[in-house]
Every structure is written in structure tokens, then in C-alpha cells.
Structure 1
Amino acid sequence: MERIENILNRITPLNHEVMERTGAYIDQLTKPVGSLGKLEEIAIQLAGITGNDYPDISAPAALVFAGDHGIVAEGVSAYPQEVTKLMIHNFLNGGAAINVFTRQINATVHVIDVGVNGEIEHPQLISRKVRNGTANFLREAAMTTDEAIESILVGMEEAEKVIKTGSNILIIGEMGIGNTTASSALVAAFTDVSVNDLVGHGTGLDEKGRLQKAEVINEALAFHQPNEKDPIDAFTKVGGLEIGAMAGAMLKAASLKIPVLVDGFISATAALLAYKLCPLVKEYLFISHQSVEAGQRAAVKMLEKEPLLNLHLRLGEGTGAALAYPILDASTRMVREMATFADIGIEK
């Protein structure tokens, strides 16, 4: 935990002096003041994150963390656990939605096995396995405290690697059958929202399956009594390894003044875990879209964030974040490329 705390201590508030300068400069661009609305706010936030009056996010990287969940033994998913491995091969072979959308924005894709149940042989896979899936958290803690901490450290280390190679904005995604159940349990532990209001249909459960999923989560929370004031305790009891890794990646990026695009429900849950560990991290995050999963709305509300898009997505993988990236890119191009009134000879 000491290694994690060292990173948390390096996360600082945004650079408000730079934000004020960038805001003043945007007001000089050839447009009515405030007429580009949210785009102007995004550019100012990016300036504060990076400490650069003219922020550059032209080198996006997508980190897709994968892990399995023992809770699937309780029938909480419409798909079998084997799908996790099959989808990882799909990512690595370039055939998934995240591959399509990242090719569109020229983002690199890094697939990290942090907790898949079984071995995967592929030269492009980054193997950082903490364990072969979590335990069934209805019966026992999902993982040990050491494993929980290790998953967060894996995310930190993998984020640092891609940032050191030149990536200047991170897209955070995941894959793991059963992870909406873990996410619902974690969000319930961290908020005062009822489990029934958090639990959605996941990968395609019918209403009977959704209610069974909610019952399983309620039983698990009653059994574990996770401590909402101790995020590692709650995460250890009902979390997922890929969730921890995503939170770690967000925290490390913030410590290095790199912006992060948060994807859907699972990614927002990881953002909530990161926020519980260090509230300042939320200033470095952008919520890419509003998921159809109710649990994401609860997480985003606690983060006091506003999603950029609402496309009725519920896929995960980082897809919504990849789709939202061009909006952030446009905001930086606005600052760097638009003429000012002075440039065209008009005294404002």
C-alpha cells in the first residue's frame, strides 16, 4: 500500500493559472464568447491537467484490462466465462469494436491480462496476471488484500509504460464476464443507492435474471459488510482485478498530468474506486458517455461529472471513450488552430 500512497501523494490540483490564461485566450478567438460551450470547458480543463496553454492530446492509447469473476457461478451472466478469453483473442486479432474505433482515431491498443481464468498464448498479449479470476464473492472475499493492491499497481505500471512511450491521453477499457455484478456491488458499497436500482441487464439478462443478480449482490453485501470508508476493504471483498487495474491506471495518469477518458459502467466504477483513494483524481477524468446501465449513473453522480455523449451504449472495452476522443481532440485544435480577432484585424 505504501507504493500506492506514494503515487497518490503526487496527484495535485489542476493548474488554475494556466486555465485562466487559456480561458482568456479562447475568449479572443473568432467567435462569440462562450459560443462553443462545453468544448471551451474541455479545453480549459485539458490546459489545467497538462499545464500547457495549448494542450496536445494527439497520441491516444487504449488500455484494455481483462479479468474473470468467480461470481458467475451464481448465474449472474447471460454468457459463460469462456467468452472472456475468446474476446481477448478478438481484441488481439483486431476484430472487436474497440479495434475498429481506435483505428479511426489512430490510437494504440494494449490488452492486459490481469486476472483471466486460464492461460492465453498470443505475442501481443501483456500478461500481468494476479490470479486466475476472482473468487465467488457470495461465498468468500473476491481476493486477498495483497492481490487487490497488486491489481492496482499493475494498472499504474502499465499506464506509466505507455505514457513513457509518448501517449498523452488514456482510454480506459475492460473485458470480463461477470464484471457488471462486481461493479454493482462496489458502487452499492460506496453509495447509498439500493442494489435493485443499480443492477441492470448486463450482457442480456431477462428481468428474472436481473432480479436474481440483485439478490446475489444483496446477500454478498450482507455477508461481507464492506467498509465504505476503506476503499481497499470494499474492493477486496466484492471487486474485480480489472477494476483495480483500471483505477490504478487512472491514478498513475493523474500523477503524471495525463488526461483520462473513462468508458462505461465498469470504467466508471474503477473511477469511483480511484476517487475514493484520492478525490483529486476526478479533475483528470472525462466521462465519455452515459451508459444504459443504471449503476453508471450513480457512479458518475458521486464523481460530480457530466457524460459527453449519450449513444445508449453498454458494450465496454473502452468503445465509448474512443468514440468521445474526437470531441476532446477538437477542443485542443480549437485552441491551437483558430484565429483570434487580432489575427484578422478586428479590434474586439
Structure 2
Amino acid sequence: MTIEELVGQIQPACAETMAAARKRWRYKCMPIGSMGAFQDMIVSIAGMQRMEIPEIRGKMAMVIAADNGVVEEGVSQSGSEVTAQVVANMVAGQSGVALLAEYNYCPLYIINMGMKTEEPMAGVDWHPLMYGTANMTKGPAMDRETVEKAILYGAERVMSMADCQMDLFSVGEMGIGNTTTSSAVLSVLTETPPREVTGRGAGLSAEGLERKISAIQRAIDVNQPDKADVLDVLSKVGGLDIAGMVGCYLGIAASKRTAVIDGFISSVAALAAVRLCPACKGYMIASHRSLEPGAALALSELGLDPVLESGMHLGEGSGAVMFFSLLEQALYIYKKLPSFDEGHVETYEEFD
């Protein structure tokens, strides 16, 4: 399968089914529109699945792990060795997303797309395309072919899961330095100065933040990525985790399933996926607005307005997994709440 073939499988969400779902909400025995944004989310899921009463038969928390060569520039408080350690903690059930997945009765699927470590880990889909990307301040992070492979592998994995009745996916990551690459990708895609989209990540001093902004600007100046060519942007200033996440979004959309966006990095990957295939947006739901400065811009570019303003910036896909239960509760009301007639209540009149 090529990326063009993958994109060709993605169809817009079904407008007719969404109209039917809106009508169903309208006659539920409750004040009109009283479930707020959650009504719109269930309508969207109905359109994704082409089912007026959609289902969530299975959930999957995806995590794409990779290391980033730009860490050499002092853009993170931690070294690259922390990526593998956190992934090991995930496998052991001792990380934020692992615990949230356990709480939500949701399997956690980790893909190693490019960690520096060469020692395979049990419980991880071991598919390294590189052992860490190159330092993007000195040249491209990777070549275009590697980006394509990462995208396709991410897509193939979620498509195989969708065939096994997985209907709801979170798209998360682990990779020291990936707020730097995400800020670089967002800066290029939106033509926004790096300073406006770059934050402190997992924790940086004021001096460290300046190093990070400088590294991003140098990477853009050295590589001159073409904002109209998503693969060029990802290969020059992106990361293997971001590329794999782009593939997940495309694969979820091709499978007519639901992708729940997590925080900043997840939002940037979602934007890159939508730039590759605009119809992909119809299969996305935003869980929360990350505290990272670029998160609001990425979500604005996507035209998505998350309902949670929690100040979270844990990463790993954790916020998206937390959001699963809210979607499930909204769907439960949609399915179970009686209509006005069934509830023996006079239908509310709708006024402009």
C-alpha cells in the first residue's frame, strides 16, 4: 500500500447519518441541546460509523515511541535514554497512560518506531526504522522514504485493530525532544514564528527555552522545508513518532473509526494528517487543550474545540484515554434516554 492508496480509501463522514443522529437527540426527553458538545461528538461518531446508533465495542490506546537527534542541542531537561525507560514503565503498567488505560479497561499498544535502544522489549511492537533521527539543526531528521514507511506502518496497525472490532483509538507518543519537533512542524505548516509555538515541554528553564527556540529556527533555516509538502516537512524537521501518529490518524479514518486527539504533539500529528487528507478531520475528536503554547493554534487550524481546559500536559496519550469514559457516558445517554413520548413528557418547543 502507498500513501496515495491509503488516502484514497478515506471517505468523508456520512452527512445523512449525522442528520439522523441530530434528530434522535432532538427528541430525547431532556432540555434541547442540554448535553452540549457531547451531542455533537456522538453525532460525529455516528457519521464516522455510518450508523445512527453507533457502537464502541473496543478501545485501543496507541503509543508511538521514537528518539530525536535534536536532543543533542539541549532542548530537553532529560536525555534520550529516558524514552526507553518510560516505555519500559508503560509495559510494566507504571506510567500515566498505562494506568489510565488499565482503569478504562483499554489495551495499550506501543510501537517502537525509532528509539535509540537496540534491545527489544517484550510487550512492544518492535519496528525501528532508525535508532533515533538525525539532528535536524544540521540537516534533515530523516529521509522521505523513512517517513512514508512510518506513516504506512502506523496506518496498517490501526486498520488491523479496526478489523478486530476496535472502534475508539487514542493517539499518543513517547519520545524525549518531541515537543521540539512538533513545534518545528507546526511552525512550518502554519507559517508561525517558532517563538510563538514553543513551550517548556517536560520542563525547561528560561535559558533552556531559548536554546529550544533557537534550535527550531536553525533547523528550519538549514532545511528549508516546503510547507505545502507534508512529507517534506516531517522528513526535515519532524520525528518518527509524529510520522507514525499521522499514519494512525489516516488508518483510523480509512477504517471509519474514531480517533481521539491527545495534547500538543498529538494535535500537530493530526494537523499533518489533515493536510495530507482533509477528509481525515471528520474522524477526529479533540479531548483537551494542552498547556503547551502551540496546542491552541494546532486545534484552531483543525477547527476543533475541545471541551476540557484542564491544563494537562502529561503526554503519552493520557488525556485522550481519560476522555474515553466521557464519550462512553454520552453514548450511553444517547442510546438509553427515552424520547419525549416514551418518557410521557410533552415535546419541548425549539425557539430561535
TM category (shorter chain) comes to over 0.9
**Structure 1 residue 78 displacement after superposition:** 0.4
CA contact (8 A) 2:29 2:345 kept: no
* Matching residue's letter, 1:181: T
Q: How does 1:1-348 map to 2 (within 5 A)?
A: 3-348=2-347
User: What is the letter of the counterpart of residue 180 of structure 2?
Assistant: T
Equivalent residues of 2:120, 2:126 under 8 A apart: no
> Could you tell me how far apart the structure 2 residues matched to 1:187 and 1:264 are?
13
Give the partner amino acid of 2:99: V
- CA distance in 2 between counterparts of 1:267 and 1:196 reads 20
The residue type equivalent to 1:49 in the other structure is M
Aligned mates of 1:70, 1:346 — CA distance in 2: 63
1:335: Cα distance to partner?
1.5
State how far apart, in whole Å, the 1-side matches of 2:333 and 2:21 are.
11
CA distance in 2, matches of 1:253, 1:315: 23
CA contact (8 A) 2:83 2:115 kept: yes
Counterpart-to-counterpart distance in 1, 2:42 and 2:192 = 33
Q: Distance in 2 between matches of 1:102 and 1:138?
A: 36
State the SS of the aligned residue for 1:120. coil
Taking structure 2 as the reference length, the TM-score comes to 0.96
Residues in 1 aligned to 2:345 and 2:76: alpha-carbon distance in whole angstroms? 61
- Please report the RMSD computed on the Cα atoms of aligned residues, expressed in angstroms: 1.1
User: How far does residue 165 in structure 1 lie from its aligned partner after superposition?
Assistant: 2.1
User: Do the aligned partners of 1:58 and 1:329 also contact (CA within 8 Å) in 2?
Assistant: no
| 2:256 partner SS | coil
User: In 1, are the aligned partners of 2:25 and 2:334 still within 8 Å (CA)?
Assistant: yes
Q: Which runs of 4+ in 1 moved over 4 A?
A: none
Q: Which residue of 1 aligns with 2:350?
A: none
Q: Residue type matched to 2:310 in 1?
A: L
Cα shift at 1:298: 1.4
> How far is the alpha carbon of 1:327 from its aligned partner?
1.8
What does the per-residue CA deviation read over 1:199-227, in whole Å, with 9 as the maximum and x for residues that have no partner? 10011101111011101111111111110
Contact residue 65 and residue 173 of structure 2 kept, 8 A: yes
- Where 1:124 maps in the other structure, the secondary structure is coil
8 Å Cα contact 1:308-1:324 kept in structure 2:
no
Structure 1: state its 5+ residue gaps.
Answer: none
Q: Secondary structure at the match of 2:148?
A: helix
Distance between the aligned counterparts of 2:38 and 2:238, measured in 1?
35
Q: What is the CA distance between 1:129 and its match in structure 2?
A: 1.0
Unaligned runs of 5+ in 2: 348-352
SS of residue matched to 1:217: helix
Distance in 1, Cα, partners of 2:183 & 2:343: 54
Paired-residue identity, %: 32
Instruction: Report the Cα distance in structure 1 between the residues aligned to 2:308 and 2:153, rounded to whole angstroms.
Output: 29
SS, match of residue 107 in structure 1: coil
Aligned-partner Cα distance in 1 for 2:222–2:83? 28
Shift of 1:151: 0.6
